[in-house]
Amino acid sequence: MRDEIRQQPAALERTLRQEIKNVEKLKKRLASNPPRMIVLAARGTSDNAALFQRYLLEIATGIPVSLAAPSIFTLYGGTLRCQDALFVAISQSGESTDTNLVLERAKEQGALTIGITNEADSTLAKLAEHTFLVRAGREKSVAATKTYTGQLLMGYLLAYALGAKIKIDDLKRLPEWAAASLKLENEIRERATPYRYMRHTVVVGRGLNYANAYEFALKMMETCYVVAERFSSADFLHGPIAMVESAFPVFLFGPGGVTWPSIHGMCERLEQLKADTLLITDASNKDAAAKRTIRIPAKLRHSGPLPEDVYTPIPYIIPAQLFAASLAEEKGLDADQPRTLTKVTRTL
């Protein structure tokens, strides 16, 4: 897991370099016939990437996006009117039975279909009309890391193909920003030590980093066996904050921009409750002054008209991945082979 976390800058650079031509072809096709809606189908870590893509695509393109409910197809045998829709299936292995079935049924109903996977010879790659490869190389650890950030990158490229004001030159900086996050590896090892006996926690994010709250929580659940809940800062105030008491651990993603006032207010509230908070942010957010902060040593700024935090999710999840790997080591657990889990999960 740790080795694959370190491979992410190179994997991101490779994916962008090798897939941009395919994306440009799709962009030309979509220019004359853009979809009226987009449906994303995924499970597990890929579902968290889909959650990010939903936020990004709606913000950047204005096209309504839905997350598919595979059971509509696999259990209830339902059919949907899919004309003028774009269906996207996201799967690291390309062998997720239910997400592949969603794509197959949508294709039968006239939808344009896209597959995002790390495996060129997978069922998904053969099924989709357009396939985009997360060129991360083989991922051996059960806990997905480099394929997750690759799927986030494909979200930016999909938005670009749909006409979003995303600049390829800005995307080319993502490997650099990912490398900056990796500089925190030793610091994060030390940060993880006091959490050795942690059994319960909450992860909070908002907007484009809401998906990272889900992914960080998932990594702690599957590699460290910690019961990790995840919330937006808005939802957390609608009840769940009642469980917070003195020394209760809460992890937060805090980029600058439109989501910062909400996260900053949450930090202040948690400090009043004497919670144990750890904030992930970057060098451009000068207002982040929480007692415990993991600060990426880079200013994650861009030149386009998109929101200030638009490119933070990839560099922000890397400290979280490193934290989960370090905490598993502290607990004496094998993060590469969590109990009862396998790399490919097939569900219906």
- pLDDT value at residue 240: 87
pLDDT string in tens for the chain (348-residue length): 999 999 999 999 999 999 999 999 999 999 999 999 999 999 999 999 999 999 999 999 999 999 999 999 889 988 888 999 999 999 999 999 999 999 999 999 999 999 999 999 999 999 999 999 999 999 999 899 999 999 999 999 999 999 999 999 999 999 999 999 999 999 999 999 999 999 999 999 999 999 999 999 999 999 999 999 999 999 998 888 989 999 999 999 999 999 999 999 999 999 999 999 999 999 999 888 766 899 999 999 887 789 999 999 999 999 999 999 999 999 999 888 877 666 556 666
C-alpha–C-alpha distance, residues 250 and 279, integer Å: 9
Query: Quick one: tokens of 323?
Result: 């934290």
- DSSP H or E stretch at residue 217: helix 210-224
CATH of span 2-167: 3.40.50.10490
The three-state secondary structure class of 10 is helix
Place of tokens 């905490």: 327
| Phi and psi torsions of 39, nearest 5° | -125, 130
Residue 285 carries which side chain, given as an amino acid letter? N
- pLDDT value at residue 335: 83
Superfamily for the 176-330 domain: Glucose-6-phosphate isomerase like protein; domain 1 (3.40.50.10490)
Asked if 279 and 290 touch (Cβ cutoff 8 Å), the reply is yes
Q: Who's near 275: CB < 8 A, 6+ residues apart? A: 244, 245, 246, 247, 248, 249, 250
Nearest by Cα to 221 from 330, 139, 339:
339
- pLDDT value at residue 74: 87
- Give the Cβ contact number of residue 95 at 10 Å: 17
- pLDDT value at residue 340: 66
**Angle formed by the axes of helices 8-32 and 146-161, to 10°?**
30
Asked if 201 and 174 touch (Cβ cutoff 8 Å), the reply is no
Nearest by Cα to 7 from 136, 135, 171, 116:
136
Query: Quick one: tokens of 84?
Result: 């003028």
- pLDDT value at residue 341: 61
C-alpha–C-alpha distance, residues 23 and 19, integer Å: 6
For CATH 3.40.50.10490, list the domain ranges present in the chain.
Answer: 2-167, 176-330
